[in-house]
A and B are shown apart, each in its own frame.
Chain A
Amino acid sequence: METFKIKRIFSDNLGRNNPVFAQVLGICSTLAVTNVMKNTVVMCVGLIFVTGLSSLTVSLMREYIPSRIRMMVETLIIASYVIIVDIVLKAYLPDVSRQLGPYVGLIITNCIIMGRAEAFALSNPPGLSFLDGVVSGLGYSYVLLVIAFFRELLGSGSIWGFRVLGAWWTNWSIMVMAPGAFFMLAIFIWIVKGSLIKEEGGNNK
């Protein structure tokens, strides 16, 4: 039972039910910083931290939370962890914190955190919930990192701030701007979904 659940956590969050391409959830807050890989990584680490711990906390309190104010309590818990992330970044990584600006605060409204708290943590023990939170954060992060990789490469000709493409490369400014993220994410979803459909078609025959 336990191992089955753990397996489910990994396959659900990393595989075909990954929240980003199955339901396009939670991209709001983080998509905006995917034009530079470094910022994306910091955002993702912050997000994993918050999802993990808020799932854990919600799960610990799941028997006491009155259902009427469930959402408000969850939001409060999430907000507190986000504040902690924000303060820690300000104190120990001031440059990154300055770059991310208000986006750290927007982790609060990331639907995935709330979604995991609602769907998983409210009905599962703390240990599993923590794992589920962390893994769903990871599943989300790898999609965003792929997007950030291509946006930075094509948009600025660099990876992690180092120029990798020569002077012959003309930067696609559109990749760094807003529409680029929409197109990149759409293409990514297309490729993943397309291959999933093919796989299923093959199984049916």
Chain B
Amino acid sequence: MSREFFKNRIFPVLFMFVITLVFISVTTVIYTITKDTIKFNESLRLRRAILFAAGAAIPEDQDEIEKIIAKRVKEVKDDKGNTQYYIVYKEDLTAVNSYVIIKKGAGLWGTITMAVGFDGGIKSLRGVEVIDQNETPGLGGRISESWFKEQFRGKKSPFTKVAEGEPADENQFQAITGATFSSNAIMDILNTSSIDIKEIAGDSR
């Protein structure tokens, strides 16, 4: 009777417990091994995004990127220690090349995080980079494609959109066909970024 009870009730629970423990340990080991690589990837991605948005050349070599960041980029924090924006100086460090702000906005499927870079006079865009997004691959996901991102260089706020493939003037950008929502999200992010950066960086100039 008690043997039966053990076999039917206790053993399965014990078995499940042990198996769970084993598999959790295995995954934890793998996670710990790759943790630093993942962290490093993420910080590298942010650095590249800042340089891309500032319109600066991005070297292939990771150490070179570190050097440029250390030399030309200054992080500006508010009173509470949160990052507000980044100042990217010109190569000879004589003047400000770009103000880069990291901005989040609601996309169709989730948060879109972007690095938005403005020129030293905060008049036009130096460049934009999409850091994170969960839009539909092949549709809204195309906001990460380079033709989409490159078109923003030199554009001025307030931003409006035109259909894909149409000619755009200095305030306009080409939206993505079939991804109205994602395109609108980008438009909103850019417009709020331009208002915000004027407010927080405008007087520090």
> CB within 8 Å of B: which residues of A?
33, 35-36, 39, 64-66, 68-69, 72-73, 76-77, 79-80, 83-84, 87-88, 90-92, 94, 98-102, 152, 155-156, 171, 173, 176-177
Contact between B138 and A35, CB atoms less than 8 A apart: yes
Contact between A77 and B41, CB atoms less than 8 A apart: no
Residue interface bits B20-48, CB-to-A below 8 A is 1, else 0: 10011011001100100110011001000
Specify which chain B residues have a CB less than 8 angstroms from the CB of A35 in the assembled complex: 136-139
- Known A-B contacts A66-B12, A72-B16; A99 and B137 likewise in contact (beta carbons under 8 Å): yes
Contact between A65 and B15, CB atoms less than 8 A apart: yes
Contact between B178 and A173, CB atoms less than 8 A apart: yes
Contact between B27 and A84, CB atoms less than 8 A apart: yes
Cα-based distance from A35 to B94 in the complex (angstroms): 48
Specify which chain A residues have a CB less than 8 angstroms from the CB of B133 in the assembled complex: 98
- Residue among A65, A69, A102, A156 making CB contact with B138, cutoff 8 Å: A156
Cα-based distance from A90 to B24 in the complex (angstroms): 18
Nearest B residue to A67 by beta-carbon distance? B12
Nearest B residue to A82 by beta-carbon distance? B27
B111 to chain A, nearest CB (A): 12
Contact between B137 and A36, CB atoms less than 8 A apart: yes
Nearest 6 CB-CB pairs, A to B?
Answer: A35-B138, A173-B178, A91-B34, A80-B23, A66-B12, A91-B37
Contact between B12 and A176, CB atoms less than 8 A apart: no
- Residue among A69, A92, A171 making CB contact with B177, cutoff 8 Å: A171
Nearest B residue to A64 by beta-carbon distance? B15
Contact between A76 and B20, CB atoms less than 8 A apart: yes
> CB within 8 Å of A: which residues of B?
8, 11-12, 15-16, 19-20, 23-24, 26-27, 30-31, 34, 37-38, 41-42, 45, 109, 132-134, 136-139, 141, 177-178
B141 to chain A, nearest CB (A): 7
Contact between B45 and A94, CB atoms less than 8 A apart: yes
Specify which chain B residues have a CB less than 8 angstroms from the CB of A171 in the assembled complex: 177
B65 to chain A, nearest CB (A): 15
Cα-based distance from A39 to B141 in the complex (angstroms): 12
Contact between B38 and A99, CB atoms less than 8 A apart: no
Specify which chain B residues have a CB less than 8 angstroms from the CB of A101 in the assembled complex: 109, 134
Cα-based distance from A77 to B109 in the complex (angstroms): 29
Cα-based distance from A66 to B24 in the complex (angstroms): 20
A182 to chain B, nearest CB (A): 15
Specify which chain A residues have a CB less than 8 angstroms from the CB of B178 in the assembled complex: 173, 176-177
Cα-based distance from A3 to B136 in the complex (angstroms): 45
- Residue among B27, B42, B137 making CB contact with A39, cutoff 8 Å: B137
> Can you sample 13 A-B contacts with CB below 8 Å?
A35-B137, A35-B138, A39-B137, A72-B16, A76-B16, A77-B23, A90-B34, A94-B45, A98-B132, A99-B137, A101-B109, A173-B139, A176-B136
Cα-based distance from A117 to B119 in the complex (angstroms): 58
Cα-based distance from A41 to B48 in the complex (angstroms): 27
Nearest A residue to B178 by beta-carbon distance? A173
Specify which chain A residues have a CB less than 8 angstroms from the CB of B141 in the assembled complex: 36, 99
- Known A-B contacts A87-B34, A90-B41, A176-B178; A76 and B23 likewise in contact (beta carbons under 8 Å): yes
Contact between A80 and B138, CB atoms less than 8 A apart: no
Specify which chain A residues have a CB less than 8 angstroms from the CB of B15 in the assembled complex: 64-66, 69, 73
A23 to chain B, nearest CB (A): 26
B79 to chain A, nearest CB (A): 33
A173 to chain B, nearest CB (A): 4
B21 to chain A, nearest CB (A): 11
Contact between A91 and B38, CB atoms less than 8 A apart: yes
Contact between A152 and B138, CB atoms less than 8 A apart: yes
Q: A64-B15, A72-B16, A88-B34 are in contact. List 12 more A-B contacts (CB 8 A).
A: A35-B137, A36-B137, A69-B12, A69-B15, A88-B30, A91-B37, A92-B37, A94-B38, A101-B134, A152-B138, A155-B138, A171-B177
